[in-house]
Amino acid sequence: MDELLRQTSQPSLLAAVTTVHISLLLLRMFRNPPRARYMLLLLPCVALAATPWFFPVPAALILGLVVHVAWFVVVERTVATAPQPAAKPVSTSARRASVPRPSAPQPAPAAPRAAAPGGFVPAPVLAVFQETPDIRTFRLARPEGFDFRAGQFVTVRVNVDGKPVVRCYSISSAPEATGYLEITVKRQGLMSGMLHATVRPGSLLHLKSPAGGFVYPANDDRPVALLGAGVGITPLMSMLRHAVLADPTRPVTLLYSVRTPRDLAFSDELRWFAGRHRHVKIRATVTSGPRPTELLAGRIDRQMVLDQIPDPANTVFLVCGPAAMIEAMTNLLAALGVPRSQVRSEAFEAAVASTQASYAPPPAQQQVALSSAHTIRLTASGRSLPACAGRTLLESCEAAGVDLPAACRAGVCGTCRTRLVSGEVDCQSDLLGEGDRANGFILPCVSVPMGDCALEA
Ligand code: FES
């Protein structure tokens, strides 16, 4: 100790400690977003860098370093940091780049850093592709740590009229495309319309980590059949791209139904897959208007399935499209003797419709009338609020001004997954596994309280 006390008066030790402080200061400067107001965050760093010369005692030196590191970590976790160096976009097969790129060379887009758990992370748009007259693919720099399985989705947040709006979009690129991530969006509804109208290469979207249980059946060598309609092709496209890269001998059949030939997304790439990969069979069908001879006619039906899929009872089916199509396919496959466990589906459009219908919280004047006798207690924040009769827990919380994390609002994405500490709720979703339910987890967006309850929120 004496030795340390003696050393602290030595300029060389003070200089070494100061160097550590200055390194943290420089690193903070590098990590801060390039905006003037963030310069204020550097003031504590400057002050701490000077402390060794004013308080040259061991306890003060150690305390100064600890405080500086803590400050660095706090700022790192609470402030969006400057983008990291760019990840190179990977070129894909020939698709039409619809939105004209600016003629002047653009700076390389930055690869975003990983999101804080449960948070959103900025992702620059690298390119936009027009797939059909009303479907576009947005290619984004893939954020660090955004590992996903083919078929999953990301949650996208944008500001509309100054208010954050979120929606889930299926990923259409393959997990193997590590430099980018693509979402394919049909122009319908507020948010999708806005993405089409305003998002260009160089725009910034905010993404939350991939999620979802509708995934390519790995570790299984049974043939795969992908049944898609309209923009329901999106997660199936990710699975198909994954299948040709990762499962090159497993038979994969895509049956893809659209209204007219103009509505066929990814048509060049699908044709290329079918020609290049012998284990892949692709058949598209149109439901109205004239069609080229290579396309089938009508909706996917029993005969089409039997013609294209040799052994349905031994095939794993993945179905994505409007809810009515999913219901029809589920019934059809059951009638063909396909075990229910071999049919997986994503009622994504149904979820989106539900999201749009229920997004706005109930108007304030309705809240009193809607209040039931039940109380919702939030254990983390210590708040108690009235449950609104006939409303989900999420809606009741929002009506009371409490924001819970949520995206799809339809029991599809799992974003709102929360533990029920006490009470009973009716949670209408198949998303939660038995383990989750046994541990008390529920989805507040589709849960209605049956009495007083408490949430871990
Ligand atoms: S918000 Fe998606 S499951 Fe609740």
pLDDT tens for each residue of 232-249: 999 999 999 999 999 999
416: CA distance to ligand 1 center in Å?
A: 5
389 forms bridges with which residues in the sheet? none
429: tokens are: 């979703």
Residue 116's pLDDT is: 47
Q: Is the CB of 397 under 6 A from ligand 1?
A: no
- Ligand 1 atom with least separation from CA of 445: 4
- The CATH number given to 360-455 is 3.10.20.30
First and final C-alpha spacing in the chain: 48
- Ligand 1 atom with least separation from CA of 411: 3
Q: Is the CB of 445 under 6 A from ligand 1?
A: yes
Residue 32's pLDDT is: 61
Q: Which of 141-145, 182-186, 360-364 has the lowest mean pLDDT?
A: 360-364
Q: Is the CB of 412 under 6 A from ligand 1?
A: yes
pLDDT tens for each residue of 39-94: 677 778 778 888 887 888 788 888 888 888 888 776 665 554 443 333 333 233 33
Q: Which of 83-87, 129-133, 199-203, 380-384 has the lowest mean pLDDT?
A: 83-87
d(C-alpha 128, C-alpha 348), whole Å: 22
- The CATH number given to 224-352 is 3.40.50.80
- Ligand 1 atom with least separation from CA of 405: 1
Q: Is the CB of 343 under 6 A from ligand 1?
A: no
d(C-alpha 384, C-alpha 372), whole Å: 13
| pTM recorded for the entire structure | 0.63
- Ligand 1 pocket test, pick from 416, 419, 420, 448 with the greatest ligand atom count within 8 Å of Cβ, gives 416
